[in-house]
Amino acid sequence: MKKTRMVFLAGMAMLAVAASGETLINGAGATFPYPIYSKWFNEYHKLHPDIQINYQSRGSGAGVQQVTAGTVDFGASDYTLTDTQIKEFATKRGSEILAFPTVLGAAVAAYNIPGVTTSLNFTPEALAGIYLGKITKWNDPELVKNNPGVKLPNADIVVIHRAEASGTTFMWTDYLSKVSKEWEMKVGRGASVNWPLGLGGQGSEGVTGQLKQTPNSIGYVELTYVLQNKIPYGKVKNAAGEFVQADLASVTAAAASAAKNMPDDFRVSITNAPGKGAYPISSFTWLLIPSKISDPTKKKALADFLGWMLKDGQTMTTALSYAPLPKEVVAKETKAIAKIN
Amino acid sequence: MGVTKVKLSFRRKAVNAFMLALTGICTVVAVGLLFFILGYLFFKGGRSLNLNFFTQLPVPVGESGGGMANALLGSAKVLLLATCIGVPIGFLAGIYLAEYSGAAYASVIRFVTDLLNGVPSIVVGIFAYAIIVTRVGFSTLAGGVALSVMMIPIALRSTEEFLRSVPVSLREGAMALGATKSRTIATVVVPAAIRGLISGMMLNLARVAGETAPLLFTAFGNQFWSPGWRQPTATLPTMIYEYAKAPYDDWHRQAWAAGFVLLTLVLLVNVTARSIISGGLSHKPR
Amino acid sequence: MATATLPRATRFSGRASILRRAFSGDSLAQALVFLCATGILALTALLVWELWTRSALSRATFGFDFLRTGTWDPVAGNFGALPFIYGTVVTSAVGLFIAIPFGVGAAIFLAELAPPKLSDAMTFLIELLAAVPSVIFGLLGIFVLVPMLMKIVPGLKDALGVLPIFSGPFYGVSLLSAGVVLSVMVAPYIISVSREVLLAVPRDMREAALAVGATRWETTWDIVVPHARRGIMGSIFLALARALGETMAVTMVVGNTPKIAASLLAPGYSIAAVIANEFAEATSDLHISTLVELGLVLFGITIVLNGAARLLILATGRKAG
C-alpha cells in the first residue's frame, strides 16, 4: 500500500509541476499566417527549449477577442484594430495594445473548376459580382471576356467564404469595398459580414479543404494554402490596370508605398495599392501584444522573440511564400519593441 | 372436445414472413453500421498508426513525422481531473439519495440532476468558460471541470440505482449487529454493489472521453506538452476535429489514426464495463 | 457482556481506510453526502444563472424578435436566431424521419421476433453504436458520407427534383447530410429504449393473442406495439433531444451558412454549431450575449423534450406494471 501510494504521488507530481524555468506563452489568432507562425514558434523553441510559444490558429476575430479578454498572452490578426477596439482593450486590460507587423501575404481567388488548370484573369467587377451573387455561372460574359481561350463551363459558381471572424475576410471585403460601390453599400467591410451567398469554411484550412472537395467552387484564401495544396488561383486586375499574379514580388510591390509612410502604430491597409506590379489584395499581418506584461519572463521572451522574428525569422518567409517585411518597417518595428514594458 | 385447427390464410403468413424479414433487415443495417464504422476506421486509421503518432509532438504545417503524443496525455489529464471531480460528487450524492434522503428532497434532486444532464455539451462549454477560463485562462482545469459537469448526473443516477438494488436485508443484518449507518454503507452496501458502481463509472468515462464540444474553448489547444493544470492542452477529440477540417493529407491521415485510437479505447471500456455486469438487461419478457 | 461487533467491521483493509475515515462520524457522513447532493443543486443553479446573466444584453436588445428574425449580421449588429432554430429543427427532423422506421423496426425485431440469444447479442452491438463519439461521426461524415451523397444526389434530383425540398444545387455539405449523420447517431437510442419498452409488455397479452390464432407479426403489431406506444414515443423524444444538442458531427457537414432555405440540399447551420464556431471569437459583447442566448434556447428545448420523454416512458411502464 505504501509503495503504490508513493508511485501515485510521484505520478501526480510529474503531472502537476511545470519544469522549473520553463516559460509558457499562449497566443491565438489569424489562420492566414499560421504556416509561417507554426514554423517560427517551432524554430524558436529549438533555439530556446525553455520557451514554449503555443499558437492556436482560430481566426483573427478570436485573436482580438481573446487577447482583449486576457485569456491569451498575445493575439494575431490580419486586420488592424479599430479605434473602438483599441479603447476597449485599454478599458479591459488597462494598457495599450501594440500591433507588430510580421509578414506580408496575399489573399488569392482560388478555384476548383474541372478541366481548368490555368490561371484565370479576374477583374474587380467579376469578383464583386460573384460574391454578390450577380454573376452565377462560370461562363458569364464578364469572365469569358477576360479569359479568351479558356473553356469555362456552364456551371453554377459555388461561392466559399469564411464561417468565422477572419482577417482574410477583412482583407477581401476591404478590397471589394474599395473597388465596388455596390459591395460597399450592400455588405461592407469587416472580419465577419452578412454574406449574400456561399458556404462557410472554418479557417483558411477549412476554406482550402472545402475548395478541394467542391467542384466549380471559388474561395479566397492566403497564398501559402493554395501553393501547399496545389490549387489553381487567378490573377487580379490591379489599380494600374494590369492582371497580376500574387507572388513575392507583387506583394512586396503592394507594400512599397505604405512602407515609406508607415504610421507609428503600424495600422495601414494596402489593398488595391497603386503602382505597377502590385497585387491588389495584399496585407500585412500583425501580432497583437499588450504594452504591459506583468510576468517578467514572458515579457522578456516575447520581446526577444520579436527581435529574432525581425532578423532570422524574416529569412524563413519566402520558403513559405510570404513576403518579408520591407526594411523600413523592420527598422521602425525594432525600435517599437521597447514599448513593451 | 373437438379442436378446430385454424388455417392461416396465405396472405397472413406472407405478411408475417415479410415483416419478419423487413424488421430483420432494419436490425442488420443497424448492426452493420457499427461494423462498417469499426472497419473503416481500422482500415484508414490503423494503417496510419506508427510509433511517431504515440511519441512525437505535432510538427509545423508541411513537415512530416509529427504525432499526437501531447494530445494523448492531454486527454488523459483532462479525463483524470473530470473523474476526480465528477465521480466523487455524483457518488456521494447518490449515496445520499439511496440511503439518507427523504422522498420529497430526493425527487427535487433527481429532477435538477436530470436538468443538468440535459444541458447540451456546447452549453456546458460556455459555463466552464464563464467560471474557469475567465479566471484562470484556457487550461486543463477548465476542460476537466466542463467534463466533470457532464459526469455528475450519470454518476449520481447509476450510484443510486445500484445501491438501491442491494437487498434491504443486508443493511438490516449489519445494523442489527451494531454497525452505524455510515459504516453499514461503507462496508456492506457499497461493496455489494461494487460491480455495478465500477461498471457505471467506466461507462461514464467512456462517454465523456469522446466529447469535443466542451473542450473547444476550455482546454483550447497546444502544440507542445502542457505541464500542470493551468495551461491549455491538446486533446485527442479536438485534434481530430482540427485535423479533419484542414486540407493537408498528412493531417487527415493523423485524424484517422487518432479516431481509430479514440474509438478503440471508448469501445474497449464500454465492452469491459458491460461484461462486469453481465446479465444486464436481457431478453426476458416479464 | 462486550458488545458483539462484526470482526470484519472493525478490521479494514488499507484501501477501505479512506472510506472508513470519511464515514467515521455518522453525522459527519450524513453531512458530507447531503452537501454533495445539495451541491448539485447549487451547481445547476449557477449554470442557469450564468446563462441568464450573460444573455441579458441580447434579451434586452432584441426581446422575442430574436427568435423570429432571420438575419445574422455581426457587422451591423443584427442578430436573429431563426436560421439556427430552423437548421436545428430541420436536421433533427430529417434524422428522425430516417431513424424512426429503422429504429422501431429493429426494436420490434429484437424484442418480439428474434431468438433471445441473437437479440441480446445484436442489442449489445447496437448499444455500442451509441458509444461512438460524435467527432468520429463527423470524420466519417466528411470523408465518407458527403462524397457518397455527391454521387447519389444527382440521381435523386432527377427523380424528385421537382419537390422544393430537393431543389437547388448540392455542394455536399448540407442540411440533408447533417440529417443523415444524425439519424445514425440517434437510431441506437430509439432501438434500445423501444426494445425495453416492448419487452415490458406483459406476457399474457401476447399469449392470449397467439392462442386465438394470430401470427407473430399480428400479435406484435396489433397488440404489443400499441400497448408500448407511449414508451416508443418517449424513445423518439429522447432521440430528438440528443439530435438537437449534437454539435461536432453537425458542424462538420452542415455547411455553416446562416440562411434559411426550403431545400434540404442547401447548406444550413444549427444552434450548437454556431456557438462552437463563433463563441471564442465574438468580438462584441452583444455578439457573445446572443450566442449565450442561443445556448439558453437550446437548453430550454431539450429540457422540455427530456421531460416529455420521461413522462411517456413512465406512462408505459405503469400501464404494463
Residue B282 has pLDDT above 80, yes or no: no
Strand partners, A201: A162
Rounded to whole angstroms, the Cα distance separating A339 from A168 reads: 28
The residue of chain A nearest to residue B249, with distances taken between CA atoms, is: A229
Contacting residues of B for C280, CB less than 8 Å apart: 216-217
CB A132 within 8 A of CB A186: yes
Contacting residues of A for B141, CB less than 8 Å apart: none
For residue A126, the surrounding DSSP H or E stretch is helix A124-132
pTM for the predicted model, two decimal places: 0.88
Q: Is any Cβ of chain B less than 8 angstroms from the Cβ of A24?
A: yes
Phi, psi dihedral angles at C164 (to 5 degrees) = -60, -25
Mutate to test the interface with B, among A17, A50, A71 (most CBs of B within 10 A): A71
CB A200 within 8 A of CB A150: no
What integer pLDDT is reported at residue C321 of this predicted model? 42
**Residue showing cell 524555468:** A21
Residue B185 DSSP one-character state: I
How many H-runs (helices) and E-runs (strands) does chain B carry?
12, 0
Shortest alpha-carbon distance between residue C14 and chain B (Å) = 13
Copy the grid coordinates of residue A267: 495600422
Closest residue to B228, CB basis, from A18, A39, A212: A18
Shortest alpha-carbon distance between residue A114 and chain B (Å) = 18
Rounded to whole angstroms, the Cα distance separating B89 from B99 reads: 15
Rounded to whole angstroms, the Cα distance separating A220 from A173 reads: 10
| Cβ pair B30:C54 closer than 8 A | no
Mark out chain B residues that contact chain A at CB-CB < 8 A: 59-62, 77, 80, 133-134, 137-138, 220-225, 227-229, 231-232, 242, 245-248
CB A234 within 8 A of CB A120: yes
| Cβ pair C215:B177 closer than 8 A | no
- Residue A308 makes CB contacts below 8 A (sequence gap 6+) with A44, A47
Return residues 64-93 of C near B (CB < 8 Å): none
**Residue showing cell 497564398:** A223
Contacting residues of C for B114, CB less than 8 Å apart: 306-307, 310
C-alpha dist (Å) from residue B112 to A37, A246, C307: 47, 59, 11
The residue of chain A nearest to residue B216, with distances taken between CA atoms, is: A58
| Cβ pair A198:C15 closer than 8 A | no
Give the relative orientation of helices C285-320 and C229-245 as an angle to the nearest 10 degrees.
160
Residue B95 has pLDDT above 90, yes or no: yes
pLDDT band for B286, please (50, 70, 90 cuts).
very low
Rounded to whole angstroms, the Cα distance separating C147 from C80 reads: 32
Closest residue to C4, CB basis, from B121, B177, B266: B177
**Residue showing cell 501559402:** A224
Mutate to test the interface with B, among C3, C33, C220, C299 (most CBs of B within 10 A): C33
- Residue C258 makes CB contacts below 8 A (sequence gap 6+) with C72, C83, C84, C269, C274
CB A248 within 8 A of CB A318: yes
Q: Which residues of chain C register pLDDT less than 50? A: 1-2, 5, 7, 9-12, 320-321
C-alpha dist (Å) from residue C43 to B124, B128, C184, C228: 12, 11, 33, 36
Mark out chain C residues that contact chain A at CB-CB < 8 A: 14-15, 71-76, 78, 146-147, 169, 171-173, 255-257, 259, 267, 277-278, 280-283
Copy the grid coordinates of residue C44: 445547476
- Give per-residue pLDDT as tens, B246-259: 888 889 999 999 99
Q: Is any Cβ of chain C less than 8 angstroms from the Cβ of A194?
A: yes
Share of chain B above pLDDT 90, in %: 66
Strands A158-162 and A199-201: parallel
CB A222 within 8 A of CB A205: no
Contacting residues of A for B137, CB less than 8 Å apart: 26, 70-72
- Residue B82 makes CB contacts below 8 A (sequence gap 6+) with B143, B144, B145, B146, B147, B148, B150, B151, B208
In terms of Cβ atoms closer than 10 Å to its own Cβ (0-12, 13-18, 19+), residue C308 is middle
Mutate to test the interface with B, among C10, C47, C195, C292 (most CBs of B within 10 A): C47
Give the relative orientation of helices C229-245 and C175-199 as an angle to the nearest 10 degrees.
150
Closest residue to C75, CB basis, from A164, A192, A202: A192
3-state SS assignment for residue A25: strand
Question: Count of alpha carbons within 13 Å of B132, Cβ hemisphere only?
Answer: 29
The residue of chain A nearest to residue B57, with distances taken between CA atoms, is: A42
Would you say the C-alpha torsion A300, A303, A306, A310 has a positive or negative sign?
negative
Shortest alpha-carbon distance between residue B52 and chain C (Å) = 22
* DSSP per-residue codes, C224-264: IHHHTHHHHHHHHHHHHHHHHH--HHHHHHS-------S-T
Closest residue to C106, CB basis, from B23, B115, B285: B23
* DSSP per-residue codes, C43-80: HHHHHHHHHHHHTHHHHHHHGGGGGT---EETTTTEE-
User: Which of C177, C148, C171 lies closest to B36, judged by CA?
Assistant: C148
pLDDT band for B50, please (50, 70, 90 cuts).
confident
Copy the grid coordinates of residue B71: 494530445
Mutate to test the interface with C, among B283, B284, B286 (most CBs of C within 10 A): B283
Other beta carbons less than 10 A from residue C294's beta carbon: 29
For residue A160, the surrounding DSSP H or E stretch is strand A158-162
**Residue showing cell 476542460:** B143
Shortest alpha-carbon distance between residue C48 and chain A (Å) = 22
User: Which of C125, A140, A134 lies closest to B32, judged by CA?
Assistant: C125
Shortest alpha-carbon distance between residue C29 and chain A (Å) = 25
Copy the grid coordinates of residue B184: 453499514
What integer pLDDT is reported at residue B180 of this predicted model? 86
Q: Which chains touch A (3 or more CB pairs under 8 A)?
A: B, C
Strands A282-290 and A97-112: antiparallel
Q: Is any Cβ of chain C less than 8 angstroms from the Cβ of A291?
A: no
Mutate to test the interface with C, among A65, A78, A79, A184 (most CBs of C within 10 A): A65
Rg (CA), chain A: 22
Residue B279 has pLDDT above 60, yes or no: no
Q: Is any Cβ of chain B less than 8 angstroms from the Cβ of A93?
A: no
CB C254 within 8 A of CB C273: yes
User: Which of A169, A17, A1 lies closest to A79, judged by CA?
Assistant: A169
| Cβ pair C245:B122 closer than 8 A | yes
User: Which of A126, A164, A328 lies closest to C282, judged by CA?
Assistant: A164
Strand partners, A199: A160
Does this complex have an ipTM over 0.95? no
- pLDDT tens, residue order, chain A (341 aa): 566 666 566 556 555 555 556 889 999 999 889 999 999 999 999 999 999 999 999 888 889 989 999 999 999 999 988 898 899 899 999 999 999 999 999 999 999 999 999 999 999 999 999 999 999 999 999 999 999 989 999 999 999 999 888 889 999 999 999 999 999 999 988 888 889 988 888 888 889 988 988 889 999 999 989 998 899 999 999 999 999 999 999 999 999 888 888 888 899 999 999 888 999 999 999 999 999 998 999 999 999 999 999 999 999 999 988 999 999 999 999 999 988 88
**Residue showing cell 490591379:** A238
Copy the grid coordinates of residue A67: 487577447
Q: Is any Cβ of chain C less than 8 angstroms from the Cβ of A61?
A: yes
Contacting residues of C for B41, CB less than 8 Å apart: 136, 140
Closest residue to C277, CB basis, from A156, A163, A197: A163
- Give per-residue pLDDT as tens, C88-143: 999 999 999 999 999 999 999 999 888 999 999 999 999 899 999 999 999 999 99
Rg (CA), chain B: 24
Rg (CA), chain C: 25
3-state SS assignment for residue A69: helix
Contacting residues of B for C275, CB less than 8 Å apart: 122-123, 126
Rounded to whole angstroms, the Cα distance separating A176 from A271 reads: 9
Phi, psi dihedral angles at B24 (to 5 degrees) = -60, -40
